């Protein structure tokens, strides 16, 4: 390979606060249109901005998790431009005093471990949402997301491959979601990233012409965009057919290519200046320590606890600690039924397969962990069998049923009554002389046939272990 791709990221992460950055409007996702908007976040005059303490704390947490320096005093700046999703005509951000500086995140790829350096992390407000309506041929504006708190994480141009970029974003998602800083969902837009990319000949120092790519909303899209854009740069360098210009380009996932965003003026002068209306927020060591000591377990710590503390296989622990949601379900269920192996098993095998069938990701599965624990206990205690258990799991997810009540009401409990099972075995054996003959002739296959017949007669509820044991004994006596 003659060329080297040099990349940097700007990652926007929506903070998991209940209210907005400067006003008390809800940040809830999926609320009714313009329901969470007040005079402050609608940009009305005469309003005053109050910094959300929790947003500052979450940004401090992000700084601690990325080994950043936390600024002792922060202010907010006004970035001025006109766009219909921006209610005030300016965005509040932090150009002059970002909350975190000079952090780093360690990533691991097949090529080994590497430190990715961060320029800064700053707090800013999100914009509203524009919907382009064909029916009215107008653009409609919903300001529910306007002024929702974000952090923007800016890296140095330290990436050399798509693998590194993906590994970084996964690491960031793990760090931030486990610390409850953000749910980091790329699909829902709570984690978004812009990429700066340039290509140069290996061994040279000078960076090539840089393009910025926007609108990639999955890791897959990012990897594809990097592959496409690198090749475009290399082709331009090789053939000279196209002259690269510094510009912003939009990734089109359906076409699989980047396109110049000519309407976006790169030369916009944002006229950023300090907002004199928001008094500086002071962050002392005591506050930083308090945030640090309240940080929840990281995915890495949790992995160690699951494997070394609870004795779970690395494979299971890997899956559970890949998602904050799954690992919450694991911990919560374990509180009600303390059998790590079984709980892990039910999450990985049953819960995830149902979720997959419903087209839900591991972050989107929701279950009442008490009911889930009861269900696992019913199966583990052989009160119901596993197949019945799977059906009940679906009903917990769909209808929220209580597994114990449901099993009782529908008489789903397993039959452990040996005399009933014994008499059923005798019935089956006498009704199937031909099969019995085959068994005597040495065919072991018919064992399974007998089990099937016995189970059918008992409505599928017989305890399979007892059936097996008694059938073996009955056959021996013949």
Partner 1 sequence: MPNIEDYEAMTKISLSEDERAVVSDYMDMLLDSFNKLEDTDVSGVEPLISVLDVKGPMRDDLVIKTISREELLSNAPEQHDGYFQVPRTVD
Partner 2 sequence: MGLFIEDYKVSGADTVALEDSIMQKGKQVTAGSRILDNFTSPFNATVVDRLLDGGFKISGRTVMDEFGLLKLSRDDDNTPSGALRAVSEGISAYALCNDLFGRYRGEAPKNDCCYIHPTYGTVSRYGLIPLASSMDQIGIVCKDLSQGFKLLSHLAGKDPKDGAMFPDSSYNYGTTDEKITLGVPRSVVEKADEGTREAIMDFIKEFSSTDINLEYFDLYNQVMYILSSAEISSNLSRYDGIKFGYRASGYTNIDDLYIKTRSEGFGLDAKLTAIMGAMILSKDQYGPYYEKAMKIRRLIKESVKFDTYKVIVLPCRISDDPYENLALYSLAPLAGLPSVSFSYKGHGIQLVAGVKKENLLLSTWEVSMA
Residues making contact with partner 2 (CB under 8 A): 39, 42-51, 78, 80, 82, 84, 87-90, 139, 141, 269, 271-273, 275-279
Q: Which of 13, 65, 278, 467 binds partner 1 (CB under 8 A)?
A: 278
- Phi and psi at residue 444, in whole multiples of 5°? -80, -15
- The site that binds partner 1 (CB under 8 A) totals a number of residues, namely 48
Q: State the residue for tokens 């087209």.
A: 359
Give the number of other CB atoms < 10 A from CB of residue 54. 15
Inter-residue contact 201 to 2 (CB < 8 Å):
yes
Quote the DSSP letter at residue 307: I
Alpha-carbon distance 437 to 451, whole Å?
Answer: 16
Is 179 one of the binding residues for partner 1 (CB under 8 A)? no
Alpha-carbon distance 94 to 90, whole Å?
Answer: 12
Handedness of CA 117, 119, 123, 126 (dihedral sign): negative
* Beta carbon of residue 213, minimum distance to partner 1 (angstroms, whole number): 18
Nearer Cβ to partner 1 (141/257)? 141
* Beta carbon of residue 417, minimum distance to partner 1 (angstroms, whole number): 56
Residue 88 interface partner, choices partner 2, partner 1, none, CB cut-off 5-8 Å depending on type: partner 2
Stretch that binds partner 1, among 109-117, 177-185, 266-274, 369-377 (CB under 8 A): 266-274
Comparing CA positions, the residue from 187, 216, 182, 220 lying closest to residue 360 is: 187
* Beta carbon of residue 211, minimum distance to partner 2 (angstroms, whole number): 22
Alpha-carbon distance 152 to 62, whole Å?
Answer: 10
Is 142 one of the binding residues for partner 1 (CB under 8 A)? yes
Residue 241 interface partner, choices partner 2, partner 1, none, CB cut-off 5-8 Å depending on type: none
Is 105 one of the binding residues for partner 1 (CB under 8 A)? no
Inter-residue contact 60 to 287 (CB < 8 Å):
yes
Q: Which of 5, 19, 155, 198 binds partner 1 (CB under 8 A)?
A: 19
What length does the chain have? 478
Q: Which of 30, 45, 82, 357 binds partner 1 (CB under 8 A)?
A: 82
Handedness of CA 452, 455, 461, 463 (dihedral sign): negative
* Beta carbon of residue 361, minimum distance to partner 1 (angstroms, whole number): 27
Q: Is 79 helix (H, G, I), strand (E, B) or coil?
A: strand
Q: For the purposes of burial, counting CB atoms within 10 Å of the CB of 238, is it exposed (0-12), middle (13-18) or buried (19 or more)?
A: exposed
* Beta carbon of residue 245, minimum distance to partner 2 (angstroms, whole number): 20
Nearer Cβ to partner 1 (61/348)? 61
Is 372 one of the binding residues for partner 1 (CB under 8 A)? no
Residue 422 interface partner, choices partner 2, partner 1, none, CB cut-off 5-8 Å depending on type: none
Nearer Cβ to partner 1 (130/349)? 130
Stretch that binds partner 1, among 268-276, 289-297, 408-416, 431-439 (CB under 8 A): 268-276
- Which tokens hold the place of 434? 């031909």
Nearer Cβ to partner 1 (38/451)? 38
Q: Which of 6, 7, 55, 379 binds partner 1 (CB under 8 A)?
A: 55
Alpha-carbon distance 393 to 371, whole Å?
Answer: 9
Is 387 one of the binding residues for partner 1 (CB under 8 A)? no
Phi-psi domain of 180 (left: phi exceeds 0; alpha: psi -120 through 50; beta: other): left
Helix H segments across 108-240? Answer: 162-178, 219-239
- Interface residue list for partner 1 (CB under 8 A): 17-19, 24-26, 32-39, 42, 44, 50-56, 75, 82, 84, 130-133, 136-143, 269, 271, 274, 276-282
């Amino acid at each position: 390979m003659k060329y080297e791709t040099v990349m940097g990221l700007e990652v926007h992460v929506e903070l998991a606060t209940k209210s907005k950055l400067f006003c008390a409007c809800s940040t809830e996702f999926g609320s009714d249109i313009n329901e969470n908007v007040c005079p402050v976040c609608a940009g009305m005059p005469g309003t005053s901005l109050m910094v959300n303490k929790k947003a500052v704390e979450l940004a401090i947490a992000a700084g601690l998790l990325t080994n950043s320096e936390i600024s002792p005093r922060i202010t907010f700046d006004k970035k001025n431009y006109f766009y219909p999703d921006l209610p005030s005509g300016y965005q509040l951000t932090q150009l002059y005093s970002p909350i975190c500086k000079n952090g780093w995140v360690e990533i691991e790829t097949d090529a080994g471990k590497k430190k990715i350096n961060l320029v800064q992390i700053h707090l800013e407000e999100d914009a509203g949402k524009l919907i382009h309506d064909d029916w009215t041929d107008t653009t409609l504006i919903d300001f529910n997301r306007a002024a929702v708190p974000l952090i923007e994480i800016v890296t140095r141009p330290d990436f050399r491959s798509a693998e590194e970029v993906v590994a970084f974003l996964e690491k960031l998602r793990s760090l931030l979601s486990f610390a409850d800083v953000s749910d980091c969902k790329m699909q829902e837009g709570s984690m978004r990233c812009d990429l700066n990319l340039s290509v140069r000949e290996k061994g040279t120092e000078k960076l090539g012409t840089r393009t910025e790519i926007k609108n990639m909303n999955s890791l897959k899209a990012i990897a594809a965009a990097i592959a496409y854009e690198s090749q475009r740069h290399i082709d331009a360098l090789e053939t000279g057919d196209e002259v690269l210009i510094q510009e912003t380009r939009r990734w089109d996932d359906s076409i699989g290519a980047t396109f110049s965003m000519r309407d976006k003026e790169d030369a916009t002068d944002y006229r950023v200046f300090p907002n004199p209306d928001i008094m500086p927020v002071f962050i002392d060591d005591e506050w930083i320590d308090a945030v640090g000591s309240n940080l929840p377990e990281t995915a890495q710590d949790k992995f160690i606890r699951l494997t070394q503390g609870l004795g779970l296989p690395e494979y299971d622990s890997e899956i559970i600690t890949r998602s904050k949601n799954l690992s919450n379900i694991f911990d919560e269920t374990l509180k009600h039924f303390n059998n790590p192996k079984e709980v892990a098993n039910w999450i990985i095998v049953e819960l995830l397969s149902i979720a997959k069938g419903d087209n839900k990701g591991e972050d989107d599965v929701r279950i009442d962990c008490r009911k889930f624990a009861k269900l696992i206990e019913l199966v583990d205690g052989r009160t119901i069998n596993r197949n019945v258990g799977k059906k009940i799991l679906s009903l917990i997810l769909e209808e929220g049923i209580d597994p114990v009540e449901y099993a009782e009401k529908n008489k789903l409990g397993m039959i452990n009554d040996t005399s009933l099972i014994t008499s059923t075995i005798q019935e089956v054996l006498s009704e199937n002389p031909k099969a019995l003959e085959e068994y005597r002739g040495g065919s072991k296959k018919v064992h399974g046939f007998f089990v099937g017949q016995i189970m059918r007669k008992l409505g599928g509820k017989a305890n399979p272990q007892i059936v097996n044991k008694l059938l073996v004994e009955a056959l021996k006596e013949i």
